[in-house]
């Protein structure tokens, strides 16, 4: 089984890219690599042609070389066709007697009877099939089937991109020749802090295709074909280095986020198209722009939004190549050591820009509780949200001071402001992080458990230095958000197991996939709808996609073997929905047991309390759930009808609204009556302003971002639980927001 783990190492895939001259060579290197690891005599990759509904052999080792491109089967035809039609692996000891076997004369495949076919899928669509064959005496085992499933899941995104490039090249051959406002002059802008920190430096504006469009207006000195080839090599090396940085810093990102860039660089038609124009006398930078524009036009004309987004990869790659071509003539603004200003980010953008070592970011839209902000906190990337589109028109020579502690943005700050900033930064660096004692107690001895919210595996390294009581919320969606396709069960197991190993003996709570709303999967159209916060998100998405849900549950149960494991479902709205989700866990456990696979057979199963509909029937939920976790970010959003990512209604987003506080008190009372565990996560648990109310409401477990653990432990140690209880009872009797503010923050009345 050692070969099963081998492809979890990114090094193998990096080698495949580096040693491949073009897309065809890359595919050949893949089949050679897989054949070697699987000790197979034959390895083949078939692409599925969506238009003709047929499989076409695109890479092979073991059969006659002229078989590539000639062997074709309709969907359902042959063993490979049947495998892809049913999206189920087929393993047989004697392919010649298999009812679906289809013989192709002259290929010599009659020499290899043992046959294993594994479907390649992505985003619930058919990509192709990976086929392995061996001689009669060397049959495939169950371990081999599992190994091929793991290998295929890791290669799916890469093979899909190769298929995409191949399809586009065929289309190009068939088709005929295809032929800002005033600058901001304000010196200070008030925004909202989304990820804490102080930074000062030059800016880099990322606005759609601005860098690409600027290149179109420039003229460059004459370059040579040799210059172009050198620029290609430099570009490839830069992208490979970025990928290695991502892999080193973020194990969660085992999927290669720069696959598209590397694949385009290996595409013979793309590169040859540029070289052909150069040979006809066109200046290399202009040739790059010309071919890039042709590909962009093709991608943008596609009906599939996922493919349309590939145009951005072409733009980015063209800019990188031209920058390497003309580096001595112009200086294109990079992002390293700069503060990026952008309209919005996807989580994958945060990941990529972090690997390119930006200092921080200003976003024109978004919310401080969005997953982009949460991810940035884990990466230590300061971010301020500022609803000021004119920021995109700042002079590119400007410098800004970003105070992401309070949300201030200073454009070309005065010397006195810089000095104040420098003094504050010096004091902050001298101040040691608040240390933690092993057990958190109030002044009168009441035990409060402090748990950590975890987004990425690197967060666990920080927790080892803190005396927290466990992980109260693992946001399992991040491995989904930062990839270009759904991670397989094995990829998830790999990540989840590392999480468990990082916190041995501690309670760990997994929140199942929570996507939709502000957490968009770039590769899934189902999370891109109007009014997404009220759409197919969270547990609704999981139950509507049972295969994806079951893979995640299986991975969690396997990773939680012999651990203190808790599973909770987000956005539950009815008893039936919770029972259905629990049944999925039960069935997954039963399947793992029948397969003899070690796993946690007795996980605690609970729910997030986020939707107002559950408040009135919370006692009934307490009878069937093992625990509650109040997700305050969404609870506030849904109770007050205020989109937490919409700056225009930010003033309506009030965690201390009487309806919210009374709901929290009611849920805590129901949990206490049923003697089940209850915790609070979300920004209210981070905030010292609300902790005294939560403790007074009966909450004895708080889950917060790691940076708040030490300071909040000190705050709790100074509280008297009896006074907290009295304060809470007084607050829930109040009906006006301003009266509640006076109770919660009497010190503000003295200002």
Is 211 domain-assigned? no
CATH code for the domain of 115: 3.30.450.40
Whether residues 316 and 374 fall in one domain: no
Q: How many CA atoms lie within 13 A of 712 on its CB side?
A: 29
Ranges under pLDDT 50 in the chain: 1-6, 8, 176-183, 185-186, 254-255, 517-529, 749-751
Quickly list H helices, 529-574.
539-544, 546-559
∠ CA 388-393-397, rounded to 5°: 125
Whether residues 638 and 692 fall in one domain: yes
Whether residues 233 and 317 fall in one domain: yes
DSSP string for residues in 621-644: HHTT-SEEEEEHHHHHHHHHT--T
Quickly list H helices, 326-382.
347-355, 371-379
Q: How far apart are CA 176 and CA 723, in angstroms?
A: 79
- Do 636 and 654 meet the contact criterion of CB atoms below 8 Å apart? yes
Q: Quick check: helix, strand or coil at residue 126?
A: strand
Is 213 domain-assigned? no
In terms of phi and psi (left: phi > 0; alpha: psi -120 to 50; beta: otherwise), the region of 62 is left
Those residues whose C-beta lies under 8 Å from the C-beta of residue 501, and which sit 6 or more positions away, are none
Q: How far apart are CA 215 and CA 206, in angstroms?
A: 14
- Reported in sequence order, the residue ranges of 172-305 that DSSP labels E, i.e. its strands, are 188-190, 192-195, 198-206
Whether residues 47 and 125 fall in one domain: yes
Q: How far apart are CA 583 and CA 467, in angstroms?
A: 35
Examine the fold and report which residue of 305, 329, 353 is the final residue of a domain before the chain moves on. 329
Those residues whose C-beta lies under 8 Å from the C-beta of residue 185, and which sit 6 or more positions away, are none
Q: Quick check: helix, strand or coil at residue 701?
A: strand
Is 212 domain-assigned? no
Is 441 domain-assigned? no
CATH code for the domain of 716: 3.20.20.60
Q: Which of 334, 323, 295, 333 is nearest to 220 (CA)?
A: 323
Whether residues 367 and 317 fall in one domain: no
Those residues whose C-beta lies under 8 Å from the C-beta of residue 229, and which sit 6 or more positions away, are none
Whether residues 281 and 322 fall in one domain: yes
Q: What are phi and psi of 40, to 5 degrees?
A: -100, 145
CATH code for the domain of 241: 1.10.274.10
Is 276 domain-assigned? yes
Confidence at residue 750, expressed as pLDDT on a 0 to 100 scale = 42
Task: List, for residues 520-547, the tens digit of each pLDDT value.
Answer: 444 444 444 455 567 778 899 999 999 9
In terms of phi and psi (left: phi > 0; alpha: psi -120 to 50; beta: otherwise), the region of 116 is beta
Q: What are phi and psi of 291, to 5 degrees?
A: -70, -40
Confidence at residue 718, expressed as pLDDT on a 0 to 100 scale = 95
Is 260 domain-assigned? yes
Strand order in the sheet with 188-190: 188-190, 408-411, 399-403, 198-206, 339-342, 360-363, 383-385, 192-195
CATH code for the domain of 417: 3.50.30.10
Structurally, the chain folds into a number of domains equal to: 4
Structure tokens at 684: 């209210």
- Do 616 and 645 meet the contact criterion of CB atoms below 8 Å apart? no
Confidence at residue 181, expressed as pLDDT on a 0 to 100 scale = 43
Whether residues 508 and 631 fall in one domain: yes
The DSSP H or E segment spanning 692 is helix 688-696
- pTM, 2 dp: 0.70
Task: List, for residues 321-370, the tens digit of each pLDDT value.
Answer: 998 898 765 555 578 899 999 888 766 678 778 878 899 999 987 666 56
Is 488 domain-assigned? yes
Whether residues 256 and 153 fall in one domain: no
Examine the fold and report which residue of 374, 397, 431 is the final residue of a domain before the chain moves on. 431
Task: List, for residues 361-410, the tens digit of each pLDDT value.
Answer: 999 876 665 667 777 887 889 999 988 888 888 888 899 999 988 888 99
Find residue 567's DSSP bridge partners.
510, 605
Q: Which of 488, 13, 469, 474 is nearest to 259 (CA)?
A: 13
The proportion of the chain whose per-residue pLDDT surpasses 70, expressed as a percent, equals 85
Examine the fold and report which residue of 278, 308, 329 is the final residue of a domain before the chain moves on. 329
Task: List, for residues 569-589, the tens digit of each pLDDT value.
Answer: 999 999 999 999 999 999 999
Cα–Cα distance list, 288 to 90, 270, 274 (Å): 44, 9, 6
Q: How far apart are CA 437 and CA 440, in angstroms?
A: 7
Beta-strand relationship, 449-454 and 399-403: unpaired
Those residues whose C-beta lies under 8 Å from the C-beta of residue 324, and which sit 6 or more positions away, are 230, 231, 234, 235, 238
Number of residues that make up the chain: 751
Q: Quick check: helix, strand or coil at residue 55?
A: strand
Whether residues 544 and 637 fall in one domain: yes
Whether residues 184 and 324 fall in one domain: no
The sign one gets for the Cα dihedral 193, 197, 203, 206 is negative
Whether residues 187 and 309 fall in one domain: no
Radius of gyration of the chain measured on its C-alpha atoms? 28
Is 440 domain-assigned? no
Say how many Å lie between the first and final Cα of the chain, rounded.
67
| Range of the structural domain that residue 167 is part of | 2-174
Classify residue 186 as exposed, middle or buried by CB count within 10 Å of its CB (0-12, 13-18, 19+).
exposed
Q: Which of 360, 413, 356, 414 is nearest to 385 (CA)?
A: 360
Confidence at residue 111, expressed as pLDDT on a 0 to 100 scale = 84
Whether residues 162 and 66 fall in one domain: yes
């Amino acid at each position: 089984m050692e070969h099963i783990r081998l492809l979890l190492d990114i090094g193998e895939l990096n080698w495949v890219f580096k040693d491949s001259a073009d897309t065809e060579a890359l595919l050949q290197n893949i089949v050679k690599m897989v054949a070697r690891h699987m000790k197979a005599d034959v390895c083949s990759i078939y692409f599925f042609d969506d238009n003709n509904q047929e499989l076409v052999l695109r890479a092979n080792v073991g059969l006659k070389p002229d078989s590539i491109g000639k062997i074709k089967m309709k969907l359902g035809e042959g063993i490979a066709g049947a495998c892809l039609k049913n999206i189920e692996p087929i393993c047989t000891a004697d392919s010649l007697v298999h009812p679906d076997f289809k013989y192709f004369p002259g290929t010599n495949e009659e020499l290899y009877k043992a046959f294993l076919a594994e479907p390649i899928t992505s985003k619930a669509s058919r990509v192709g099939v990976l086929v392995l064959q061996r001689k009669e005496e060397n049959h495939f085992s169950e371990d081999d089937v599992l190994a091929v499933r793991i290998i295929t899941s890791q290669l799916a995104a890469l093979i899909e991109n190769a298929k995409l490039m191949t399809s586009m090249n065929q289309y190009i051959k068939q088709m005929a020749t295809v032929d800002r406002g005033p600058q901001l002059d304000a010196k200070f802008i008030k925004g909202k802090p989304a990820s804490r920190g102080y930074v000062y430096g030059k800016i880099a504006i990322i606005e759609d295709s601005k860098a690409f469009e600027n290149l179109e207006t420039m003229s460059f000195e004459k370059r040579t074909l040799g210059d172009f080839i050198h620029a290609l090599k430099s570009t490839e090396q830069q992208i490979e280095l970025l990928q290695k940085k991502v892999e080193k810093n973020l194990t969660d990102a085992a999927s290669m986020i720069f696959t598209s860039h590397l694949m385009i660089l290996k595409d013979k038609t793309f590169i040859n198209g540029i070289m052909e124009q150069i040979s006809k006398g066109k200046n290399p930078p202009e040739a790059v722009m010309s071919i890039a524009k042709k590909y962009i036009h093709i991608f943008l004309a596609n009906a599939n939004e996922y493919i349309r987004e590939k145009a951005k990869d072409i733009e980015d790659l063209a800019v990188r190549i031209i920058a390497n071509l003309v580096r001595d003539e112009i200086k294109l603004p990079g992002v390293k050591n700069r503060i990026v200003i952008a309209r919005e980010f996807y989580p994958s953008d945060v990941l990529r820009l972090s690997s390119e070592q930006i200092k921080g970011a200003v976003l024109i839209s978004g919310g401080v509780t969005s997953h982009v902000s949460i991810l940035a906190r884990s990466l230590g990337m300061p971010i301020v949200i500022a609803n000021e589109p004119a920021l995109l028109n700042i002079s590119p020579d400007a410098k800004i001071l970003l105070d992401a502690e309070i949300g201030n943005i200073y454009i070309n700050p005065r010397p006195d402001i810089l000095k104040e900033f420098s003094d504050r930064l010096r004091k902050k660096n001298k101040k040691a992080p608040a240390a933690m004692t092993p057990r958190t107690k109030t002044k009168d001895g009441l035990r409060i458990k402090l748990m950590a919210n975890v987004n990425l595996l690197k967060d666990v390294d920080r927790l080892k230095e803190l005396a927290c009581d466990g992980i109260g919320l693992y946001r399992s969606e991040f491995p989904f958000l930062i990839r270009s396709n759904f991670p397989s069960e094995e990829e998830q197991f790999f990540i989840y197991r590392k999480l468990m190993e990082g916190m041995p003996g501690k309670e760990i709570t997994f929140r199942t996939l929570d996507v939709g709303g502000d957490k968009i999967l770039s590769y899934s159209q189902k999370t891109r709808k109007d009014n997404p916060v009220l759409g197919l998100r969270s547990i609704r998405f999981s139950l509507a996609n049972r295969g994806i849900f079951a893979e995640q549950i299986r991975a969690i149960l396997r990773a939680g073997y012999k651990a203190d494991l808790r599973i909770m479902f987000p956005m539950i709205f009815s008893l039936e929905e919770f029972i259905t989700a629990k049944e999925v866990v039960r069935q997954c456990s039963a399947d793992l047991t029948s397969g003899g696979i070690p796993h946690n057979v007795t996980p605690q199963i609970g729910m997030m309390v986020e939707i107002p509909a559950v408040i009135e029937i919370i006692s009934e939920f307490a009878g069937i759930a093992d625990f509650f976790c109040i997700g305050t970010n969404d609870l506030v959003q849904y109770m007050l009808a205020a989109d937490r990512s919409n700056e225009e209604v930010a003033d309506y987003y009030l965690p201390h609204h009487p309806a919210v506080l009374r709901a929290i008190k009611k849920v805590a009372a129901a949990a206490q009556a049923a003697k089940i565990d209850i915790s609070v996560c979300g920004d209210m648990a981070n905030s010292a302003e609300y902790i005294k109310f939560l403790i007074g409401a009966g909450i004895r477990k708080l889950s917060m971002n790691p940076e708040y653990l030490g300071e909040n432990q000190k705050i709790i140690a100074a509280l008297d639980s009896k006074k907290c209880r009295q304060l809470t009872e007084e607050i829930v009797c109040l009906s006006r927001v301003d009266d509640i503010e006076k109770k919660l923050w009497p010190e503000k009345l003295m200002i």
